Structure 1
Amino acid sequence: MDTIPAYQTELAEPDSLFIEVGGFRIHYKRYGQGPTLILLLHGSFMSLRSWRDVSLPLAEEATLVAFDRPVCGLTSRPLPKGSAPSPYSADAQSDLVADLVKALGFEQAILVGSSTGGTIAVMTALRHPERVKGLVLVGAMIFSGYATSEVPAPVLGMMKGLRPVFSRIMKLMIVKLYDKAIRKFWYRQERLPGAVIATYKREFMLGPWDQAFFELFLATRRLDLDDKLADIAAPTLVMTGEHDRAVKPEESRRLAEAIPGARLEVIPDCGHLPQEERPEVFVDAVRSFLSQERLLAANA
């Protein structure tokens, strides 16, 4: 990478780490130690802070890494050049996860993915099964939203040709609607401090974030995962908040039924982000799953 983004230097915290993988300078934090890697993938518009209350408890028996996914947090936001493949497509992001596991010094990882992070975790399990030891899918978008969105080809061509115009329009919309959109992820609003939203927003809107997010939008396509889920062999826990409004609990139940041997955990009194709204319950559920599946044993 030619230059280090200024915000990485200015906003890095004492436990911040950086690693160059797949054209990105990825910001991550690492806790615990052990032969098993737990890799946390947060959802869209957020950052690794989404795991702030569960990272240390889950790192008691494993090495745990939480990282800022592309277009989020302190991870760099490279812009595609010419006709090069977009680094922001779902395929490219899943390849990035697989490469990150290897770059961190592991052969496999237990992927814990929230929302669109769950989508990418599933994609990684399908494209790189040798890198995935287990899956925890939290309100994963598989049958709606990100995984089923696609801009019609004629419109896509027009948007690419008028990048500056459409990028600015999207920027204005995100700035205006950001707070309202994030609040919908919680079931009980009193559990969401305003400072948390402010921090997410500040860390999302760094560098050329609007251009990078627009590139991600242009690279979004229908993933057609329905018929592929039966190919997932990794032990899987599907988790949903009882009152999830972003990904309906019925979709998580359908996901658990589609993946062979998958377990389903419904978290009561909770919305889209159990790791934030009910962290103790979340940790207990994940620990129970890892224990029952014996996933914390040494990597084969």
Structure 2
Amino acid sequence: MTNTTKNTTLVFIPCLSGAPWDISKFDSLSERPMRLLKLPEAVDNMEAYADFVADAVADLDDYVLIGDSFGAQIGLALAVRRPKGLRGLVMSGGFAANPVTSPFWNTAMRTMGKMRGAAYQHIVLRAHAHRLASPFDGEGQVPWSEAESRRVFHENTPAESYGARITATLAAYYVDKLDRITVPTLILTPEHDVIVGDAPAKVMRDGIPDATEVVLERTGHMFRFSHPGTYSTAIAKFLADRIDHRKVVGAAR
């Protein structure tokens, strides 16, 4: 069975905030079927998140997983299972293992994950937003700021869920399973990324057999928010070049 149309469903997996994607500025993808997910709350295990997405796509025979940051690792965790109907994988700002190499920041993240109330709102979210920031955030199609990043988490992410997702991030490890991903994979990397850095993209690019990395110049970790046009255009090109005429993996014959 070969699909020569644009009927593949794009399944968008949220970042650490857990909030469904805002795709209103994704003009390059507007004619494609999409499914937006919201992450379950207070789940601290990456495999459980992969189970959640697996359940969410169980009725689909033809789909691409698109994950951003924490959501990219969820997409990867499901992709290594080679699920039925998976045709491609897109990961932006993603990683196959804990990307934080600094002992200080690893300890700080664990500590921040336990904070609640005012400490979470005024210390954790400010520190997290600062590490997400890039000097290019203000020049995108949607000028972004640390205040906007804080707002996203303040409105969508309970402290318990933030802490649980940090625990999941620090514990998950898929480096030794990357070769199980046999579908075309796009790795979108921002030019400037303090919170993740360059090394995780190289690990995934080298480990996934059919992976391509595209670095989006003058973008930061929040490029899905600040540069939605640039971001969605890169995904649309990947879909047109690598997905739209490919056979469905594991689909019913």
Short-chain TM bin: 0.7 to 0.9
Q: CA offset at residue 48 of structure 1? A: 2.1
Q: CA deviation at 1:271?
A: 0.7
CA deviation after TM superposition for structure 1 residue 96, in Å:
0.8
Residues 167 and 94 of structure 1: is their aligned pair in 2 closer, same or farther, counting only changes over 3 Å?
A: closer
- 1:277 equivalent to 2:226? Answer yes
Among 134, 152, 165, which residue is 1:200 paired with? 152
Deviations 1:149-208 (A, max 9, x none): 9x9xxxxxxx9xxxxxx9873444431231342243232353215773464134225xxx
1:118 corresponds to: 72
Displacement of 1:66 = 2.0
| Match runs of 1:81-96 below 5 Å | 87-96=43-52
Q: Which amino acid aligns with 2:10?
A: I
Report the CA distance between 1:220 and its aligned residue.
5.9
**Inter-partner Cα distance in structure 2 for 1:194 and 1:221:** 23
Q: Does residue 1:178 correspond to 2:125, yes or no?
A: yes
SS at match of 2:195: coil
Contact 1:139–1:241 under 8 Å retained in 2: yes
2:220 partner SS:
coil
Task: After TM superposition, give the deviation of residue 145 of structure 1 in Å.
Answer: 4.1
Superposed, 1:1-300 pairs within 5 Å as 35-45=7-17, 47-49=19-21, 51-54=23-26, 56-60=27-31, 62-71=32-41, 87-102=43-58, 105-145=59-99, 169-176=115-122, 177-187=124-134, 188-190=136-138, 191-192=143-144, 196-197=148-149, 199-205=151-157, 209-216=158-165, 222-295=171-244, 300=251
- Offset of residue 101 of structure 1: 0.9
Mapped contact 2:10–2:33 kept (Cα < 8 A): yes
Aligned residues: 233
SS of the counterpart of 1:134? strand
| 220-229 vs 194-203, which moves further | 194-203
Residues 96, 248 of structure 1: alpha-carbon distance in 2 compared, 3 angstrom cutoff: same
The CA distance in 2 between the partners of 1:184 and 1:238, in whole Å, is 21
Q: Tell me: CA distance 1:173–1:107, structure 2 relative to 1, closer, same or farther (3 Å).
A: farther
Q: Over alpha carbons, which structure has the higher Rg?
A: 1
**Native 8 Å contact 2:97 2:170 kept in 1:** no
What letter matches 1:175 in structure 2? Q
* Partner AA of 1:107 in structure 2: D
TM, length-normalised to structure 2: 0.77
What's the offset of the Cα at 1:43?
A: 1.1
Question: Matched residues in 1 for 2:18 and 2:126: separation?
Answer: 11
Which secondary structure state, in structure 2, belongs to the residue aligned with residue 248 of structure 1?
Answer: coil
Q: Could you say what secondary structure the match of 2:90 adopts?
A: strand
Q: Unmatched 5+ residue regions in structure 2?
A: none
Contact 1:70 1:88 in 2 (8 A): no
Name the SS for the 1:129 alignment partner.
coil
Q: Label 1:181 to 1:167 Cα distance change in 2 as closer, same or farther (>3 A).
A: closer
Structure 1 unaligned regions, length at least 5: 1-32, 72-76, 78-86, 152-158, 160-165
Q: Residue 190 of structure 2 contacts residue 215 of structure 2 at CA under 8 Å; is this kept in 1?
A: yes
Change (3 A) 1:258 1:69: same
Identity of matched residues, %: 21
Bigger RCO (CA 8 Å, 6+ sep): 2
Q: 1:168 to 1:268 in 2, by over 3 A?
A: closer
Aligned counterparts of 2:29 and 2:225: Cα–Cα separation in 1: 14
Deviations 1:89-120 (A, max 9, x none): 21111011011012xx4124201111110000
Q: CA deviation at 1:270?
A: 0.7
